[in-house]
Amino acid sequence: MYNKATPMKILGIETSCDETAAAVVQDGTTLLSNAVASSMDLHKVYGGVVPEIAARSHIEAMMPVVNQALTEATCTWDDIDGIAVTYGPGLGGSLLIGVLTARTLAITKQKPLYAVNHVTAHCFANFLTKTPLDNYQLPNSAPDFPVLALIVSGGHTQLVLFTDYFDYRILGQTGDDAIGEAFDKVAKILGLPYPGGPSIQAAARGGDDRAYRLPKARLEQPYDFSFSGLKTAVLRTAQAAVGKDFTFPSHQIAPLLSEQQVADLAASFQRVAVETVVDKTLAAFEEFKPRSVIIAGGVAASAALRQELQARLPIEISYTDLKLCTDNGAMVAACGSVMAAQQLPTADPFSLDIVPNLSM
Ligand code: KG4
Ligand code: ZN
């Protein structure tokens, strides 16, 4: 990608939610390491991420994860050309640990600091095409611009058209819940464990995806999304399935559902949620005629989404490794790597602040 005599290695740090992650990426294309410690198991009992627990876990895991990323990449600090860190959007306490760590390391190790937007970074995971690491399935080639990106995570649902790495237009986004949030909330109604995406995917395998009729939101803007209606429709359908009305508390439904009802509801919800985002991606593909389509964010790990999109898109689509879809440091390092190569402004390590509600 770059005509540089010496390869450039960037350390990426990510702590926006419950994953403490660090990775080393070379020249924006080569994944040298990817270390992740998750506090997910600590949150499971609460059915969602508890911000204070996440922040405390980041404090404990941060430096061991950074050191693991360097060791895995067989790097010392002398080999690192810059540090990239997620400064938003995300949970305030969580972002703070990553940003303070990156600032301190930038000062003490005398490295340039790159402030990275978490949502943009998710897209950059798709530009990683090489790795010496085992167990990673990466695309053979990087996407070609213009790139249509479907960003689907626990916090975001957006269609974005990139004409270059940092030159993009948001075509549409959700006005209420993100798609991942809908997976997580529906899983809770069905009594399935957090995070909802993987557990709904597993439960749906034994279900009939047409067993229940659920609505697709109709919106004025063609590329905008809404998932709160679908989530409520699942709740009403589940209440009716157990012979109750809309006043019946959602947390009392799951024990009354049969295994088959759970599987059918999971499959029906998953089909409608996936079809909704694929319908809009296809419409945007036809209107804007991009050369590549990418999917990014935790829900990009969905097998149903991957199948449906490839089946309906008229071009080949390469998906990145599942481990690079959910939150990770590699996507942050990849983004910082391109920022460094393009000589974009660096952040001040003495003053970089977090921006929990940062948008793209
Ligand atoms: O990108 P991510 O790790 O964190 C945010 O930035 O939000 O995304 C997490 C989201 C969760 O809502 C989780 O349920 C969803 O990604 N997810 C999935 C799958 N794996 C993770 N959703 C559907 N199918 C999956 N296989
Ligand atoms: Zn994310």
Q: pLDDT tens across 155-185, in order?
A: 999 999 999 999 999 999 999 999 999 999 9
Q: Any idea what the Cα angle at residue 126 is, between residues 66 and 13, rounded to 5°?
A: 20
Separation of 179 CA from ligand 1 center, angstroms? Answer: 9
Mean pLDDT confidence for 49-69: 93
Q: Tell me how far apart the alpha carbons of residues 300 and 308 are, in angstroms, rounded to a whole number.
A: 12
Q: Kindly state the average pLDDT of the residues 314-324.
A: 96
Q: What is the pLDDT of residue 344?
A: 96
| Ion ligand 2 nearby residues (CB, 5 A) | 153, 327
Residue 300 CA, ligand 1 centroid: distance in Å: 7
Q: Is 308 in the pocket of ligand 1 (CB under 6 A)?
A: no
Q: Which residues contact 155 (CB under 8 A, 6 or more apart)?
A: 17, 89, 90, 119, 178, 180, 181
Give me the helices (H) in 224-258, please.
228-241
Check whether 268 has a pLDDT greater than 70: yes
Contact 35, 114 (CB under 8 A): no
Which token pair is 261? 């009802």
Cα angle 125, 131, 133 (rounded to 5 degrees) comes to 110
Least confident of 47-56, 75-84, 87-96: 47-56
| pLDDT averaged over every residue in the chain | 96
Q: Which backbone phi and psi does 92 adopt, to 5 degrees?
A: -55, -55
| CA–CA distance, 339 with 337 (Å, rounded to integer) | 5
Nearest ligand to the CA atom of 269: 1
Ligand number nearest to the C-alpha of 277: 1
Ligand 1 pocket test: which of 118, 183, 199, 271 has the largest number of ligand atoms within 8 Å of its C-beta?
183
pLDDT-derived band of residue 5, with 50, 70 and 90 as boundaries?
low
pLDDT on residue 156:
95
Confidence of residue 40 (pLDDT cuts 50, 70, 90): confident
Task: Return the pLDDT at 45.
Answer: 78
Can you give the length of the chain in residues? 360
Residue 158 DSSP label: E
The vertex-8 CA angle with 2 and 9, nearest 5°, equals 135
Nearest CA to ligand 1 atom 14: 197
Overall average pLDDT of the 59-70 stretch: 96
Contacts with 173 (C-beta within 8 Å, 6 or more apart), sequence order: 156, 157, 158, 159, 224, 225
* Residue 3 pLDDT: 46
Strand partners, 167: 164
Compute, in angstroms, the gap from residue 288 CA to the centroid of ligand 1. 27
Using pLDDT thresholds of 50, 70 and 90, give the confidence band for residue 4. Answer: low
With a cut of 70, say whether residue 109 has pLDDT above it.
Answer: yes
- Torsion on CA atoms 254, 258, 261, 265, rounded to nearest 10: 20
Q: Is the CB of 198 under 6 A from ligand 1?
A: yes
Taking residues 313-335, report their average pLDDT: 97
* Range name among 46-50, 330-334, 337-341 with the lowest pLDDT average: 46-50
pLDDT exceeds 70 at position 110: yes
- pLDDT value, residue 7: 81
Burial 49-77 (b: 16+ CB within 10 A, else e): bbeeebbbbbeebbeebbebbbebbebee
- Find out whether the beta carbon of 155 lies less than 6 Å from any atom of ligand 1: yes
Token readout for 211 is: 């067993």
pLDDT of amino acid 49: 84
Check pocket membership of 120 for ligand 1, CB cut-off 6 A. Answer: no
Is pLDDT of 2 > 60? no
CB 126 near ligand 1, within 6 Å: no
CA of 88 to the centre of ligand 1 (A): 17
**Which residues fall within 8 angstroms of residue 297, CB to CB, at 6 or more apart?**
119, 122, 151, 152, 153, 154, 156, 180, 325
Write out pLDDT tens, residues 118-162. Answer: 999 999 999 999 999 999 999 999 999 999 999 999 999 999 999
> Averaged over 354-360, what is the pLDDT?
96
Burial of 42 (0-12, 13-18, 19+ CB in 10 A): middle
Contact (Cβ atoms closer than 8 angstroms) between residue 76 and residue 70: yes
